[in-house]
Amino acid sequence: MLNVLDIVRHVFWNDQLFDRDLLPPEADLEKCQTTLADLATMTGAERIAVFRECGIHNSLHPVFLRALQRLTAIHGSGKIADNYMLHHHLSAHNWSPSLSSAHLLGYSFVNSEAFSTEKVDGPIPRPKGKMVLDSGGAISKTKYNGLLNQGATCYLNSLLQALFHISEFRWTIYQMPTGEEAEEKNDTGVKRTKSIPYALQRLFCLLQRGNEAVDTTELTESFGWSSTDSFIQHDVHEMTCKLLDNLENKLNHVQQSEKGDHSSHTKNNAISQLFVGVLENFVCVDEVGYHGSREELFYDLQLVVKNTTDIYTSFERFFQVEVLDGKNKYCLENNGKKSYHRAEKGVRLKLTPPILLLHLARFDYDIERGETKVLSRWDYYNNLDLSKYMPHASKEDTDYTLCSVLVHSGSDAGFGHYFCFLRCSDAWYRFNDEDVSPASLREVFGANFGGFKLNYWGSEVPNTTNAYMLVYIRTSQIGHLLRSIGPEDVPWHVVRQLEWEQKEYERLLKERAEDHLYGKIYFIQPNDIEEEHEFLSCRRPQGKQFPTNTTFRVLLSTEALPAFQSFVEKQIGIPISEQLLWYPSERGENGHVFLHKQVIQGVTVSDILCGEKDCCVFVVTPSTVNYIEADGIEEGDSVKYDLLHHKLYIPLHLKVVFLGCTVLAYKKRVTSAKAIQLMEPFIRKRITEIPADVNLRPNHHLTGGGSKCTIDPETSAAPSNERPLGAWTVPPEKIEAEKREGLSVLCEYDHNAYSKCSPYLNSGDILVWQEAISEEDKSGVFYPDIVSFQQFLRRLVPVEIKLNHPPSYSTLINTQLAENMTYEQLQRYVARLIGDPENYDRIRFTMHSPETKLPYFMKGRKKDRPTLGKLLSPPVPRYVALSRYLYYEYCKYTVTEIEAAHSLQFKLFNERVKPISQHWILMPREIPITPVELFSTCVREIQEVKSNSVHSFPTTPVLPKTEKEKELQERDVLDSDMMFYQDLDPDGAWKELRLVDVWRGRIYNVFDKDHPRTFENSTFEESAEYRIEKIPRPIEGVPLQNQSLIHVHHFTMVRQRSNSVETHGDPFSIYIDHAEFAPGLLRRIAYKLGLSEAAVVDWKLALVRENYVVEVQPGVPLGKQLFEFSLESQYQPNQQYPLKMAFLGLEHAPLLKRPVKRDSRVVILN
């Protein structure tokens, strides 16, 4: 990791883009055990997980990924140019997604001077992805344009160039209807849809008519990818299939919409006509005269490179006929009777597409080294003749000409660089991201065949630059497929949009040059302050974006009032006579900014901006605020106005909401007491209209569902209502009848500083109101007033509280809380949200494990984790950063009771090794735990409490025909299992039952009459999964000395890890006859688990101790194998070192199938 940090610092670092203080200390990176080779083979998500473990800040992940890409690029032999991956020009100035103060576009490095008809003095910065369009009459400065690399998108650039230069495909993309997307893009008030066809049209238009390298960010965003996804290198072959399939589906949708055809199998579209061919899979059984076939559509053909010499030998391998004979004969079924025959099976070409894509299988899987690259020599040719494989087809359909070669440079599958060679106008060119240069025939063919070459010392080294995908075009159609596409073929709406964007860019450049003469005014209204409280105490919130219709660019020397009034009337629709305009300005000696000054006659824009470039202006009318005339004001009177702002502190919700504003009109200054009296009816009215807490999730702990909700405890505002904030007319008699006690107010005279109101209120004052806390709510209030609430705000940390219920772990709330909140305060907070404040002590918390990304296996005890900060602290010492996740559960007992007693949660298992119910008991710590005491308590609990059914691990039993039959069968099994426990005598239960301690699919300890180990002063481990089950019964008719009780574990081998044995599922114990053989035991195991023999036919029996695994021989008695492998005592539970315990293993894949990792595959989300 230190090497990666070095590249970040010296190659990609830019202080304008990143905060140097966020770089991790070298001491932390030295502790990282992950090598560069390990990082090179990881997926993007796995690399990011390593970065997080090293304490690397999230905002630095893209630059660390870029640095890692550079380090892992040169992994082959030869010169750097032979394995080109380093984009020397590509710096933080033109690839960073967080660019703010640098140029709008990275510098142009497209093409070489050989393709330039005139030389420019220097690069002109342009908007990202936008450039001057060729009008069609002027001579283009560059012949062909390249594509900018976003980080690791060289594979995508190669594919896009290959598709773009197929004129028929480009024309097809141009014909796709995208007019609506263009209108949405031009309309800033409409949320833009991410359309892949429209993004391709824009990209192709820029490649065709522009004169600079084009950025692909808009296209990858239309895929649904984030900036981080652009640093994950995918397979170009898989990307091709995904992209073509996506475009074909969109064309099908368009055809169905136009023709009213809703068939899901529409294949008659331009993409399928270009790329889709037909293979015929056939089976011939000459003995009975049977000939069967099935058609299969394909986008590409995959040719084997390993153990072949050229393209034709690969085709021979592809179409080789397989003979099914001996034990592998073909099965035919006729009238329910099966017969087996010698047969021939194969595949043949039925129809080839005009554009034939050939994927070369350069990557092969090795069981020891994983995925490796095949570097042997493999030749391909300019012309391809497929007549041998399609004897029924005409010569015109089987002759193909090579037009594109996509190349992978690198020695391994996990990294490297992609570029391509394209035939353009009967000449070959090399397209390497933004660099385009002419290519010789040797570069196109011989240099990419693979094989070996001599290095500087004369030794043979493999050539790691090899062709990976070939694009052939039918020779008879090459004139049509590669015809010239003129400017008139480009969709007019795309050209119009790009030209508009170009004009907007030029306008922005002009505005920037004249910025010193102008200022920007952003007009806001009361509903804007509801969303952003910061408007009250600054000229403009940092990072806030404003719509164009409320943004006014105006000369600094302009008189403000008439210009502002005219703009507001035109853009917002408020008549000039109703407008009152206010702007933020410094107030008092401390120089703090408040929204308090009125825009009046004679004030210029420069006076309002006070040397700044932009500022907000607050627009109010008597109908949008609480407008109060303090005394009788008549027409012609000299009236003054004060603007007052109102907030409400809700201690139970831990938030402050914005209530609205008051404009106080007066001739003579009004005291604060009178002003508060006049404003109180408005405040009470607003308080009654605040809805209930949106974060309440009643019974969340029972349902475990619901969508996520987020709050900001400081700035959450009351939602806007249908009627305006002001202009409420409350009848005087209702005001008199309303209770006035219990409403207090403080004045915020500085940011987060409060005091009692002064004798006279000043314009811009922020009044914070609060209702009296009822006796019912006092226990749930942790910060009784706004002053103490500031302590809460100063200690905020992000926290997402989840229900500790796998697998969903649904979110209760995603918010910010003070890290010094106590365990009890957190309990009360969560209990109020789930609607059970009285039973707050039943809430128990569990920490988050940064290693597993799941709840930590140990619970957080009150005395050990007394505050939120302690609960968010990582339980693993090598992790430092606070977690943001915290898990809660609603317990049967209070946390106080649980921590003061022996607490045991257990599942009740039946003899089929299936959980049937779960229970929880507490036992006094003063009483030693013995089998008699434990099992009598457990059985009484089972008999008294109605069982809560739990989900068992998936198995493959013979399923009933209908769901009803299945439900009845499960109910019968459950009733029969529970009947045993209902009839069991609690005092004698210790003779029949045992307690099994299981963790991660392994039996560690057993507690029963034969293993009466008492717990003495210790208690049950919370990390273990305890279960109670019947004591296994010996085999009838076999002497006890000739059989042994052996533990059986399900496991798989993970050979890439040092700890290669990975157990899973539910282990169990079974008596094994010493004279028994493996097949018979496997049948007994299948019966015990309720599985068919077919379900376990592929399971392997093995003897396992630590990571030493020996497969059980089917023809040798099990007793002999068991005790030759290990001593009988080592099969017993309760060992001092449990991981060294020997067991009988069932090797098979987990019955609960794991999902495929999304990060390792190409995913187009749109």
pLDDT band at 84 (very low <50, low <70, confident <90, very high): very low
pLDDT given at position 715: 35
pLDDT given at position 262: 41
What contacts 379, CB < 8 A, 6 or more positions away? 309, 310, 311, 445, 449
- For the segment 1031-1040, the average pLDDT, to the nearest whole number, is 92
Token representation of residue 209: 């008519």
Determine the distance from the C-alpha atom of residue 1004 to the mean position of all C-alpha atoms in its chain, rounded to a whole number. 37
- For the segment 11-25, the average pLDDT, to the nearest whole number, is 76
pLDDT band at 720 (very low <50, low <70, confident <90, very high): very low
- For the segment 613-638, the average pLDDT, to the nearest whole number, is 86
Rounded to whole angstroms, the Cα distance separating 66 from 69 reads 5
Token representation of residue 269: 């579209």
- Listed in sequence order, the DSSP H helices in 834-924 are 868-872, 895-899
pLDDT band at 79 (very low <50, low <70, confident <90, very high): very low
Of 678, 697, 690, the closest CA to residue 649 belongs to 690
Helix, strand and coil in the chain, % to nearest 5: 30, 25, 40
pLDDT given at position 369: 62
Of 522, 583, 574, 526, the closest CA to residue 547 belongs to 522
pLDDT given at position 65: 83
Of 927, 951, 916, the closest CA to residue 1028 belongs to 916
Rounded to whole angstroms, the Cα distance separating 161 from 166 reads 9
- Over residues 171-220, the pLDDT tens digits come to 999 988 877 765 655 554 444 557 888 889 999 999 998 888 999 888 88
pLDDT given at position 90: 38
Looking at the chain, the whole-number percentage of residues with pLDDT higher than 90 is 41
Distances 135 to 142, 485, 490 between C-alpha atoms, Å: 14, 14, 12
HSE on the CB side for 951, CA within 13 Å?
6
Do 652 and 774 form a contact (C-beta atoms < 8 A)?
no
Average pLDDT value over all residues in the chain: 81
- Over residues 356-369, the pLDDT tens digits come to 999 998 887 665 56
- For the segment 948-977, the average pLDDT, to the nearest whole number, is 50
pLDDT given at position 944: 85
Q: Is the pLDDT assigned to residue 935 strictly greater than 80?
A: yes
- For the segment 545-566, the average pLDDT, to the nearest whole number, is 93
Q: What angle do CA 124, 128, 129 make, to 5 degrees?
A: 105
- Predicted structure pTM score: 0.61
Could you give the domains of the chain? 2-79 (no CATH), 113-234+487-510 (no CATH), 277-481 (3.90.70.10), 519-621 (3.10.20.90), 623-693+713-776 (3.10.20), 795-891 (3.10.20.90), 900-1031 (no CATH), 1033-1166 (3.10.20.90)
Count H helices, E strands: the chain? 32, 44
- For the segment 1042-1061, the average pLDDT, to the nearest whole number, is 85
316-330, 735-749, 1032-1046, 1050-1064: the lowest-pLDDT one: 735-749
Do 582 and 643 form a contact (C-beta atoms < 8 A)?
yes
pLDDT band at 64 (very low <50, low <70, confident <90, very high): confident
Q: Is the pLDDT assigned to residue 92 strictly greater than 50?
A: no
Task: Give the residue with greater pLDDT, 40 vs 885.
Answer: 885
Compute the Cα dihedral for 409, 98, 161, 222 and give only its sign.
positive
pLDDT given at position 766: 94
Rounded to whole angstroms, the Cα distance separating 29 from 24 reads 7
- Over residues 267-306, the pLDDT tens digits come to 578 888 999 999 999 999 998 889 999 999 998 999 999 8
pLDDT band at 753 (very low <50, low <70, confident <90, very high): confident
Torsion of CA 1119, 1125, 1126, 1132, to 10 degrees: -60
- Over residues 990-1010, the pLDDT tens digits come to 999 999 999 889 998 899 888
Q: Is the pLDDT assigned to residue 263 strictly greater than 90?
A: no
- Over residues 824-872, the pLDDT tens digits come to 999 999 999 999 999 999 999 999 998 888 998 888 788 889 999 999 9
pLDDT given at position 72: 62
pLDDT band at 776 (very low <50, low <70, confident <90, very high): confident
Do 530 and 718 form a contact (C-beta atoms < 8 A)?
yes
Do 924 and 903 form a contact (C-beta atoms < 8 A)?
no
Looking at the chain, the whole-number percentage of residues with pLDDT higher than 70 is 80
Written as one letter, the residue type at 643 is: L
pLDDT band at 252 (very low <50, low <70, confident <90, very high): confident
- For the segment 780-784, the average pLDDT, to the nearest whole number, is 90
